[in-house]
Amino acid sequence: MKKIWNLFFIMLKIGLFTFGGGYAMIALLENEFVSRRRWMQADEFADMVAIAESTPGPIAINAATYIGYQQNGVPGSAAATIGVCIPSFIIIFLISLFFDAFQQIQWVAAAFKGIQVGVVVLILSAGLKILRQMRKTIYNIACVCLTTAGLVLCSLFAVNFSSIFYILIGAVLGLSIYFVKRLCKAGKTEVKK
């Protein structure tokens, strides 16, 4: 029970201090669960981020649910998910009550512009950390290079290409390589017989 409450309060803290959505939260989750508490390995965390991004729903909620389930089953996933959602719910509810008046305040608008810069830094930091911890295989390096080139080209030529397609293309490539390796292994086994 203590671990469930601990998980709840960790996610509540992360939810309270994360601005900019789930991508900004990745760096905080990595710091808390991989570096500080060592509840997950770096490879496992990178896989969790990929799963949370690939499944329907917000990445922050998917990640919290996954981490909670991994740590304490269904009660842990419920505690982590509720913990990460409560701050956003309360903040959005309060903003909705005073939205028109809130929008007119100059220093609030300036603060949000500053927060946007911080969010970009958090997302970039999380991406670079995962990139450094990634296994350096030919396939992984090729995927990173091709995806980066695709993102840059789509941005330069103003092509609207959904990130979902990058995920699907990566999944198809990964499965293709897996099946090719499996066929090669089966072929070698047949030759030895």
**Span 98-127, mean pLDDT?**
77
Rounded Cα distance, 156 and 65, in Å: 36
Which whole-number Å values give the CA distances from 4 to 7, 74, 116, 131, 159, in the listed order? 5, 10, 32, 31, 45
When pLDDT is cut at 50, 70 and 90, the band that residue 81 belongs to is very high
pLDDT at 137: 86
Q: How many helices (H) and strands (E) does the chain have?
A: 8, 0
C-alpha radius of gyration, the chain, whole number = 20
How many of the other CB atoms lie within 10 Å of CB of 62? Answer: 20
User: CB burial class (10 A; 0-12, 13-18, 19+) of residue 98?
Assistant: exposed
Looking at every residue in the chain, the average pLDDT score rounds to 83
- % residues pLDDT > 70 (the chain): 94
| Interval 126-168: pLDDT, tens | 778 878 888 888 878 887 888 788 878 887 888 777 777 777 8
Q: What share of the chain is helix, strand, coil (3-state, %, to 5)?
A: 85, 0, 15
Confidence band (pLDDT; 50, 70, 90) for 20? low
Q: What is the pLDDT of residue 55?
A: 80
pLDDT at position 140, please? 81
Contact 66, 48 (CB under 8 A): yes
CB distance 85 to 15 below 8 Å: yes
- Give the confidence band of 103 by pLDDT, cuts at 50, 70, 90: low
Q: How far apart are CA 188 and CA 192, in angstroms?
A: 6
pLDDT at 5: 92
Name which of 9-13, 81-85, 162-166, 173-177 the model is least confident about. 162-166
C-alpha neighbours within 13 Å on the C-beta side of residue 48: 26
pLDDT above 90 for 69:
yes
